[in-house]
Homo-oligomer: A and B are copies of this chain.
Amino acid sequence: MNPTGRYPATVYLGAPDMIRLVRRKGLSACIAGVATRIEREFLRWQAFDKSARVACHSAVGVIELMPIADDRQFAFKYVNGHPNNHRHGLPTVMAFGVLADVETGAPRLLCELTLTTAIRTAAMSAVAARALARPDSRVMALIGNGAQSEFQAIAFRDLVGIRELRLFDADPAASAKLAANVVGQGLKVRTFESIAEAVRGADIVTTVTAAKTQATILTPEMIEPGMHINAVGGDCPGKTELHRGVLEAGPVFVEFEPQTRLEGDIQQMPADFPVTELWQVLAGQASGRTGASQVTVFDSVGFALEDYAALAFMGETAAELGIGERMQFVPEADDPKNLFGVLRDEAAAPARAARGAVVTA
């Protein structure tokens, strides 16, 4: 028996809720909170049932489902990647996700993840850079100045200590937008007309381009000793950003190796090309950077565990701020074996009468 309204609630956080949440909590606090949560979950790596995401490719883009679970919660994200969506006036990436109880399968949180993905991707990049970049890194080149770029800028300012951005985008309006968005926020910003110029002298190079092609955004001659490469945009089969020589310039770190072999920049490399999973570095089980002049590469594709962490953080923050609404996602039957009963008028339900309930007209 379970009276109406007694099922575990599903909380819905739509786009307006999430905008309100991030404004009230503060973007910096959200990025830092998600970063802390990502680190915590990465240290529990073995506790998760992990699988490469399921991708459905078309000529114009990809739609993916990214599931993960531990013994308490199941999470998944729906996310697309359609580089030409701006022609439809739509974002390249749109996403939402769900947290559910493993014990019962009941969905507990349905959450927009478009804005949240931008936050978690930047948080993940910063977590990796904290472990892999030179501690005195202050200058970052940002190649690709689209929807994700400001979030990278803020995350690296707050969590890594970046104070100067060197911008490049094939669309100068995108760089102008980024520069305008971060005015007065403690970041010196310069825009360049070529990738090579933008990259010159940077401590960290972040690539976040969107084209679904085998692009060569970074070539070996651009790479300087001590650089950390944060390669975010090469994240599905046929979509890469780094010349293979860049991958050979230093140790390569990945999120979840089986997924990155398919989707990351290392898809260009032989199957035995050596990589290290980042969680091992965070856990002290593998070396990260071993010297100031070493080049390090984070071949990031985005892994379900980051969304698990972000969903958990957003769900907790929404509860703390009183944001979000309850959805009735599951029909509530008096008797869960009597789903059919929800279709009847309560007053006339024979099944209830048969169990001796009082029937009133």
Contact = CB atoms under 8 A, between A and B. Distances in A.
Contact of A78 (B15, B98, B181, B336): B98
A289 interface: no
Given A56-B69, A80-B100, A150-B340, 17 more contacts: A15-B331, A49-B56, A54-B65, A60-B102, A62-B105, A63-B100, A82-B103, A82-B105, A85-B105, A85-B336, A91-B336, A148-B339, A176-B354, A177-B341, A177-B354, A180-B353, A180-B354
A287 interface: no
Given A19-B342, A339-B147, A340-B181, A67 B56 contact: yes
Contacts of A342: 19, 115
B86 A58 contact: no
**What's the number of copies of this chain in the assembled complex?**
2
Residue of A60, A62, A80, A183 with highest tally of chain B CB at under 10 A: A80
A1 B104 contact: no
A125 interface: no
Contacts of A327: 14
Contact of A336 (B6, B86, B332, B354): B86
A260 interface: no
Interface stretch (A36-44, A106-114, A219-227, A311-319): A106-114
A54 B51 contact: yes
Interface residues of A, number: 89
B102 A7 contact: no
Contact of A2 (B58, B63, B76, B90): B90
Given A104-B82, A180-B354, A336-B147, A328 B14 contact: yes
Interface string A342-361: 11100000110111000000
Contacts of A344: 181
